[in-house]
Amino acid sequence: MIADNDDLLNEILLHLPIKSLIKFKSVSKHWLSLISDPNFSRRRNPSFPTSASAIFFRIYSESGRARPEYNFIDLSHNSNPSRPPFRSLTFVDNKPGIGICHSCNGLLLCCASSPNRERREYYVYNPTTKQYTILPPLIFPRGNSRAVIKGLTLAFDPSKSPHYKVVCVRNSDAQRGQFQVEIYSSETGPWRLCSNLGSFPAQFSTQFNDGVFWNGAVHWFCPSGTSLYFKVDEERLGEIPMLPVPDDFDPLNRMLAYFGESRDHLHFVDHIHESGEVRLNVYEMERDYSGWFVKYRVDLSRVSTAFPELIPSSLFDQLTSQMQYHLFSVLCVVRVLRYNFESTTLYNLRDTVPAGMETILHMSLVGYVHQYIESLACV
């Protein structure tokens, strides 16, 4: 009776974990059809947005491996942590150089690159279901795709649509020093130039390669000028407000530590060193873009007390004594409902930094860390 009642069967399946659902796809063609339905995935997670259960951390290699490898850092603190979906990306045969470009709500935007290939191939991959799709190639009139493409960002909101888009920023064909946007939609297919937007100017330092999807828009941070956002459905540009600057504040004391999204909140983290105090300020953006506000303050003195090796004794001796430098990098900000950020509890998730890497920790690790969310979304 249950097998013949799709409504009842769906209600049962909706309450099962994703790993079980993936196995149950092989029970019958009927179950495969029910579980693979895009509406089933949306109904299963009505409380979206969800928090990342883990992060992928690209392993630094001085030799530069042809096949990038990733650590899998579980954030659930369960007694039985999740197994890594992969160590390296091998879902396409004979493509040894596949790496993660961007992650968005359970999907990964990946790129296969090779020193001998001018054109790169891009994929959208679901690491939970192991499904992937190959994006159609972008057309470049001048032939040099690496010089033309400035960045690609995956835009996917499963609470609104089972379809995703990929936003590409490239040099303008018409105006030197300006940019244009092309969009690929999983619903409509080919790349399409945003003709209504046309060409637009932007600061040279705008980080198009590290776009962040939030609030229906792709956000590009600029450390030396005006940051931008692009409303994907409306295809229009806007300016992101500047961070608040206190009176008598020296901007040289502020350094970018992180820019990203978690549970439908946009965060900016800066590293402040002032009068011997070292802290992190976690800012959050208002949904109407009226401005940033301080959500959390993190006193790094507690971190240095727990991990004194983060403060080198000789590496920066030549610098002024008022500054206390820490060897650290903010990998990711993940909002988890059952943990109270204000409790100031420290967790040593994993020692992922290989010997000798402390000499490069001052470099940005943006692009090396990606959130992992289990998803049944089709690609």
Q: Report pLDDT digits (tens) over 314-349.
A: 444 434 444 445 566 788 888 765 444 555 565 555
pTM (predicted TM-score): 0.84
Domain ranges of the chain: 1-36, 37-372
Q: Give the position of tokens 């244009």.
A: 180
Q: What SS3 state is found at 379?
A: coil
- Are 359 and 112 within 8 A, CB to CB? no
Residue 243 in tokens: 């961070």
Residue 332 in tokens: 């990711």
Q: Report pLDDT digits (tens) over 263-276.
A: 899 999 988 776 66
Residue 13 in tokens: 């399946």
DSSP 242: P
Q: Report pLDDT digits (tens) over 107-118.
A: 999 998 655 555
- Give Cβ neighbours of residue 41 (< 8 Å, ≥ 6 apart): 158, 162, 375, 376, 377, 378
pLDDT classification of 164: cutoffs 50, 70, 90: very high
What average pLDDT does range 34-61 have in this prediction?
A: 78
Residue 78 in tokens: 């369960």
Q: Which residue has the higher pLDDT, 353 or 305?
A: 305
Q: What is the pLDDT of residue 51?
A: 79
- Would you say residue 65 has pLDDT above 90? no
Q: What SS3 state is found at 22?
A: helix
- Are 260 and 246 within 8 A, CB to CB? no
Residue 330 in tokens: 């903010």
Q: What is the pLDDT of residue 356?
A: 40
Specify the CATH number of the domain 37-372. 2.120.10
- Would you say residue 251 has pLDDT above 50? yes
CA 69 – CA 67 distance, rounded (Å) = 6
CA distances for 79 relative to 74, 75, 85, 337, angstroms: 11, 11, 18, 18
What average pLDDT does range 116-139 have in this prediction?
A: 86
